[in-house]
């Protein structure tokens, strides 16, 4: 429980000290956080923004289709995508593309761990924040 709380606090601190001040200076807000992992609802509750799950179709990780509710993001809403691990980057890239299809703006991708030699973060269309490089 202590490690999980530390992780949540770390992500919240990064968002509130790095992302939110930039948005506030531009007169914008953080509208939505899209999650590929389980820490999402806790972070959104602490930050007071919407939670949108981004799921593998059929909920089977081996499937290669990612989905999101079509009305989950309104045009020009600002979105952060968070996941536990980035390996090849395919799932995170798909999440970002879905946000774009819904006319949202991906501000940043946050991950706990990146497997460096796979270079998954190079596929992404917004800045990436990583806690651990492996």
Secondary structure letter of residue 123 according to DSSP: G
Instruction: Work out the pLDDT band at 80, boundaries 50, 70, 90.
Output: very high
- In this predicted structure, the answer to whether residue 88 has a pLDDT above a threshold of 70 is yes
- Sort strands 66-67 and 78-86 into parallel, antiparallel or unpaired: unpaired
Instruction: Work out the pLDDT band at 73, boundaries 50, 70, 90.
Output: confident
pLDDT of residue 127: 96
Distance CA 90, CA 120 (A): 7
Cβ neighbours of residue 119 under 8 Å, at least 6 residues apart?
Answer: 89
Where helices occur in 52-89 by DSSP H, the ranges are none
pLDDT of residue 58: 57
Q: Where are the domains of the chain?
A: 2-133
Distance CA 114, CA 84 (A): 9
How many CA atoms lie within 13 Å of 71's alpha carbon, on the beta-carbon side? 0
pTM over 0.85: yes
The pair of structure tokens assigned to 5 is 């709380």
Mean pLDDT of 17-46: 86
- In this predicted structure, the answer to whether residue 62 has a pLDDT above a threshold of 70 is no
Is residue 88 within 8 A of residue 120, CB to CB? The reply is yes
Mean pLDDT of 108-122: 94
Distance CA 30, CA 27 (A): 11
Question: Token match 């991906």: residue?
Answer: 106
pLDDT of residue 57: 62
pLDDT of residue 63: 52
Report helix, strand or coil for 20.
helix
Question: Token match 């980057």: residue?
Answer: 89
The matching CATH number, chosen from 3.40.630.30, 3.30.70.2860, 3.40.50.2020, 3.90.950.20, for 2-133 is 3.40.50.2020
Across the chain, mean pLDDT equals 87
Is residue 131 within 8 A of residue 10, CB to CB? The reply is yes
């Amino acid at each position: 429980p202590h490690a999980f709380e530390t992780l949540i606090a770390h992500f919240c601190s990064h968002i509130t000290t790095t992302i939110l001040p930039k948005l506030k200076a531009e007169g914008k807000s953080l509208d939505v956080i899209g999650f590929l992992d389980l820490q999402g609802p806790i972070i959104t509750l602490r930050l007071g923004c919407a939670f949108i799950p981004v799921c593998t179709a059929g909920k089977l990780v081996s499937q290669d289709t990612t989905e999101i509710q079509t009305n989950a993001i309104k045009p020009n809403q600002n979105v952060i995508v968070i996941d536990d691990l980035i390996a090849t980057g395919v799932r995170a890239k798909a999440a970002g593309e879905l946000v774009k299809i819904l006319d949202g703006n991906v501000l940043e991708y946050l991950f706990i761990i990146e497997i460096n030699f796979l270079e998954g973060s190079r596929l992404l269309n917004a800045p990436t924040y990583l806690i651990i490089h492996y």
